[in-house]
Amino acid sequence: GVGSSGLSFNFYDESCPQLENIVRAGVGSLFLADPTTPAALLRLMFHDCQVQGCDASILLDPDAEKTHYSEITSSKNFGIRKRNSISLIKSIVEAVCPGQVSCADILVLSAREGVALSGGPGISVPLGRRDSSNPPDFRLADTLIPPADIGVDGVLQLFSENGMTVEETVAILGAHTLGITHCLSLESRTNATNPAFANTLKMSCRLPLGFVQNDLTPLLFDNHYFVNSMSGGGVLRIDAEMALDSRTRALVHKFADDEEAFFRAFSSAFVKLSSSNVLTGNEGVIRSNCKAAY
Ligand code: HEM
Ligand SMILES: [Ca+2]
Ligand SMILES: [Ca+2]
């Protein structure tokens, strides 16, 4: 087991030895069709793990009668994409190893593959998560997913709850080396003082659904996010503030200088984020359909 999480690195060795190869091939072909897939999968994992732990709760479709029992309808999940990709990969896994593998593990493995395919570290992740059978109220997601304008105090508090050090907290935010942010998420940033960033906002946000890249290389998992943050180009408040706050500044510099150090700290943070507060053993279920709890 890994710490006290109840997960292990050889969980599917007997019940589904093909699992990691299936997920790798699946994410690979989704990537060929759409190279922004890894960004979406990584954020999807974060938002799942943030609400009731990594239990695939975010994959549940709204129930026609009880629409508030669906976290996906929370406004905090604005811009979440590729939920269906997990169902696709799950259906291949089900054909090979029926009833064995949770949607929650497939989601974490898919995010891991996305990071590796984008040039990031190859992360060993412990497995054995179970899926929730109780869909959370969207208000739980409203409360537990951080607001777009959270600052350094807020994130240090948030990730210390997952047992992360300050270094791991700075590193996990390096996930913003991938992907985009819609202008709708940047309403609190319109008074940004960096002239280059203010100009980017002005040009990119002429359309209501406009967006900006999270760094200069949004398809590459590299340390450019930290270089960008140091030069005043941080997109969200946290991306900008991390380079200025005395508790985090030295780490932003370190990761901007040393990509290997970023990859190491990101990998251990990824494992902590994806292992805390999970269902294991006889808790929860193995869903056959990731979109439905029953
Ligand atoms: C804790 C503070 C965080 C805040 C406030 C935050 C907020 C946001 C916001 C507002 C967006 C843009 C959504 C949109 O407009 O479409 C975004 C994108 C993204 N976030 Fe975060 N995030 C945080 C942490 C994380 C973490 C821990 C991860 C992953 C481990 C992550 C991964 C991503 C990725 C990959 C994208 C790009 C998604 C895409 O291109 O589809 N974020 N984040
Ligand atoms: Ca969840
Ligand atoms: Ca990048």
Q: Is the CB of 156 under 6 A from ligand 1?
A: no
The enclosing domain of 39 has a CATH number of: 1.10.520.10
Same domain, 170 and 63: no
HSE-up of residue 49 (Cα within 13 Å, Cβ side): 25
Same domain, 157 and 126: no
Q: Is the CB of 179 under 6 A from ligand 1?
A: yes
pLDDT in tens, the chain (294 residues): 456 789 999 999 999 999 999 999 999 999 999 999 999 999 999 999 999 999 999 999 987 776 667 899 999 999 999 999 999 999 999 999 999 999 999 999 999 999 999 999 999 999 999 999 988 889 999 999 999 999 999 999 999 999 999 999 999 999 999 999 999 999 888 877 788 889 989 999 998 899 999 999 999 999 999 999 999 999 999 999 999 999 999 999 999 999 999 999 999 999 999 999 999 999 999 999 999 986
Q: Which of 86, 117, 146 is the last residue of a domain?
A: 146
- Which range marks the domain in which residue 173 is found? 152-268
**Does residue 290 sit within a domain?**
no
The domain tally of the chain equals 2
The pLDDT value recorded for residue 294 is 67
Distance from the alpha carbon of residue 205 to the mean position of ligand 2, in angstroms:
32
Same domain, 132 and 183: no
Same domain, 157 and 218: yes
The pLDDT value recorded for residue 1 is 42
Would you call 47 a catalytic residue per the annotation? yes
Same domain, 175 and 124: no
**Does residue 103 sit within a domain?**
yes
**Does residue 208 sit within a domain?**
yes
Nearest Cα residue to atom 34 of ligand 1: 43
User: According to the annotation, is 169 in a ligand binding site?
Assistant: no
Q: Is the CB of 236 under 6 A from ligand 1?
A: yes
Q: Is the CB of 285 under 6 A from ligand 1?
A: no
Which is the closest atom of ligand 1 to the Cα of 237? 5
The pLDDT value recorded for residue 194 is 86
Same domain, 133 and 31: yes
**Does residue 254 sit within a domain?**
yes
Residue among 47, 68, 182, 253 flagged as catalytic = 47
**Does residue 288 sit within a domain?**
no
Nearest Cα residue to atom 12 of ligand 1: 181
Same domain, 123 and 220: no
Same domain, 28 and 138: yes
Same domain, 142 and 23: yes
User: According to the annotation, is 105 in a ligand binding site?
Assistant: no
Same domain, 38 and 112: yes
User: According to the annotation, is 48 in a ligand binding site?
Assistant: yes
Tokens of 79: 């811009």
**Does residue 174 sit within a domain?**
yes
Same domain, 128 and 178: no
Q: Which of 60, 54, 72 is nearest to 135 (CA)?
A: 60
The pLDDT value recorded for residue 134 is 84
The enclosing domain of 187 has a CATH number of: 1.10.420.10
Same domain, 101 and 117: yes
Q: Which long-range contacts (CB under 8 A, 24 or more apart) does 155-164 make?
A: 155/238, 156/247, 159/269, 159/273, 161/276, 162/272, 162/273, 162/276, 163/272, 163/276, 164/269, 164/272, 164/273
ipTM score: 0.99
